[in-house]
Amino acid sequence: MSKVFDHYAHYYDLLYRDKDYAGEAKYDASHILKHNKNAKTILDLGCGTGAHAEQLARLGFSVVGVDLSPVMLSRAEARKAVLPTEIAERLVFIQGDVRNVRIGKQFDAVISLFHVMSYQTSNADLENAYATAAAHLNPGGVFYLIFGMAQQY
């Protein structure tokens, strides 16, 4: 599956250049904070090129983004490299599979946006991805996921 996203990565930001990442991040953050008003740290499962992670960092969150595709992650790192230091220092990107990555850290929120969970092809894949989220949540943490693109903010 990584190879598909490696090829897709070359066009990803171009395809979604008109997407309102800032508006979506504010909407997502409002829901996270509604359920965990002290949330400061986020694990972003399937972070892609890091556009949502960047906007969440701009809102003051520390975000660790995980993606299977090294090409997506190289684009996320390139995005991070041109950000102001105070935002860039709140971003970390790691290669990993959402079904089994374990980074030895817990977060106030775990997010999975866009179609990440839709790419899981079996019930076992979904169960494993959910187990990843659970393994990384602080007590009282929020697992926030969106299937597809339908959001209103």
More confident residue, 57 or 123: 57
Mind giving me the DSSP string for the chain?
-HHHHHHHHHHHHHHTTTS-HHHHHHHHHHHHHHH-TT--EEEEET-TTSHHHHHHHHTT-EEEEEES-HHHHHHHHHHHHTS-HHHHTTEEEEE--TTT---S--EEEEEE-TTGGGG--SHHHHHHHHHHHHHTEEEEEEEEE--SS----
Select the more confidently predicted residue: 46 or 149: 46
Q: Over the stretch 86-139, which tens digit does the pLDDT of each residue have? A: 999 999 999 999 899 999 999 999 998 866 666 666 788 889 989 999 999 999
Query: pTM for this structure?
Result: 0.85
> What is the predicted pLDDT for the residue at 61?
98
pLDDT digits (tens, 9 = 90+) for 66-78: 999 899 899 999 9
